Copies of this chain bind each other. A is one copy, B any other.
Amino acid sequence: MAHDCDVIVIGAGLSGLAAARALEAGGADVRVLEARDRVGGRTLNQSVGERPEDVVEVGGQWVGPGQNEVLGLVAELGIETYPTHTDGENLFEGPGGRLKRYSGTIPRLNPVVLADYGRADARFKRMSKKVDPEAPWEHPDAEELDGLTVDAWIRKAARTKTAREALALGIRAVFSVEPADLSMLHALFYAAAADGWDLLVDTEGGGQQDRIVGGSQLISLKMAEGLGERVTLSSPVRSIRVEEDGVILGDMRARRVIVALPPALAGTLLYEPALPSQRAQLTQRVPMGSVIKCMAVYDQPFWRSDGLSGIATSLPGPAQVIFDNTPANGSPGVLMGFLEGRDARILGPAPEAERRRVMIDTFTRLFGERAANPRSSEPFSRGCYAGVPTPGTWTAYGRALREPVGRIHWAGTETGTRWMGYFDGAIQAGRRAAAEVLTAEGAQTPAPVA
């Protein structure tokens, strides 16, 4: 086999570009194939002004202490960071919409609620210290913890409704899924992998401490600049064929390939020969979270003069976590709210005007009438026998199981309503889908489809 290069990297996000950079440094001839017409993967800058620094990020945006890989790379690339704006008091919107200002990490809540929350929170943190992020499966209770959803754990660990809601809010904020969607083992691992839960949720001293001057996509843009023509955009890879002395991706041949895609995307490629069952299963069991970042742009960050940091937490939501997302040079003023998990699932399919209305309403409740008229607001959304829905799937997505999508209809035994998983359900589903098509087409023409 004549090779076009040594290594092909699939995906020009941070991970793929960092891989390519390291390969190049090691003397390998590398190519990066990116499906999109841009680099950066789940980072993307959005201009909110005329200066090059007037950007906000549609995707991931923060860096923080302990994140030595990214901090080192940022320094290496000559990129600067600046602290997330935290000066001023934070806001907490409690049950029933009661608004409280507070300083520090935790708002003043009802003492019973606070004690209830505190006990659960402390217990979670103690538990997370016992998980080895290199091998979470080796925890003595790994199986039990992996078979216990965070939702079921919260119901046991906290007794008050408000404490449970606050714990769920934390899960949404960190994972952008519902507590029913993940296991305790994963949640504990995730905290352990970040040197503790506090680092996951904190701004100062935590994962949200610092921002990138020029926007986080700049990291990828600079790496891609260094790689030059080795990066090819708009080149989606759809299959990987492995032969004795190399890999074939479309019309390109290389010795090896690095798949720098999330498992759920990696699972959409056709592999020849087929992947081992363990890997094939894995890619089916790591679904993406759901999040919509919503930003409202104002001439100035007016809340700052009210003594507010712009950081807010809201139990009523639907945006439950809000930040001052103003660029480094202090204008324009940007408020950013996250719709996460449940809230993204509900508001994602809603009309854009509805998302806009809901977000402006939230910002106005929290920061007053001046929040009602942003210069612009930008809602951005990006994320055998038979199939067995993972916990949480039925309530969150069950309605989408059979509903046709325009000209696409769904059959298969998983869409049967009797004997699902059996021949009978398969046939019922096939016929139902057929009937849908006939009905839909029949509505357009008086005679049968022909």
Contact = CB atoms under 8 A, between A and B. Distances in A.
Contacts of A416: 193
Contacts of A242: 406-408
A247 B405 CA distance: 12
B384 A288 contact: yes
Contacts of A66: 418-419, 424
A179 interface: yes
A189 interface: yes
Interface string A12-34: 01111111101100111100000
Nearest to A60: B423
The size bracket of the interface on A is 35 or more
A277 B348 contact: yes
A386 B281 contact: no
Contacts of A424: 63, 66-71
B278 A345 contact: yes
Most buried by B among A71, A390, A428: A390
A411 B288 contact: no
A398 interface: yes
Given A278-B400, A281-B397, A256 B407 contact: yes
A261 B429 CA distance: 11
A387 to B, nearest CB: 4
A18 B426 contact: yes
A84 interface: no
Contact of A137 (B20, B185, B394): B394
Given A148-B391, A389-B186, A433-B19, A405 B67 contact: no
A264 B414 CA distance: 10
Interface stretch (A268-276, A298-306, A316-324): A268-276
List the number of copies, as a whole number: 2
B285 A411 contact: no
A381 B449 CA distance: 40
Contacts of A71: 424
Interface string A417-450: 1111111111111110111011011000001111
Contacts of A215: none
Interface in A1-52: 6-7, 9, 11, 13-20, 22-23, 26-29, 42-43
Interface string A139-155: 00011101111011001
A136 interface: yes
Contacts of A441: 6, 28, 255-256
B277 A409 contact: no
B182 A136 contact: no
Contact of A387 (B19, B136, B287, B408): B287
A286 interface: yes
A409 B417 CA distance: 40
Given A151-B147, A390-B390, A258 B411 contact: yes
A238 interface: yes
Nearest to A236: B270
A397 B278 contact: yes
A176 interface: yes
Interface in A161-217: 174-183, 185-186, 189-190, 193-195, 207, 216
22 contacts: A6-B441, A11-B412, A15-B426, A15-B427, A17-B430, A19-B433, A19-B434, A66-B418, A69-B427, A70-B427, A146-B180, A147-B178, A185-B394, A194-B422, A238-B270, A257-B407, A263-B401, A263-B414, A267-B267, A278-B349, A285-B287, A288-B384
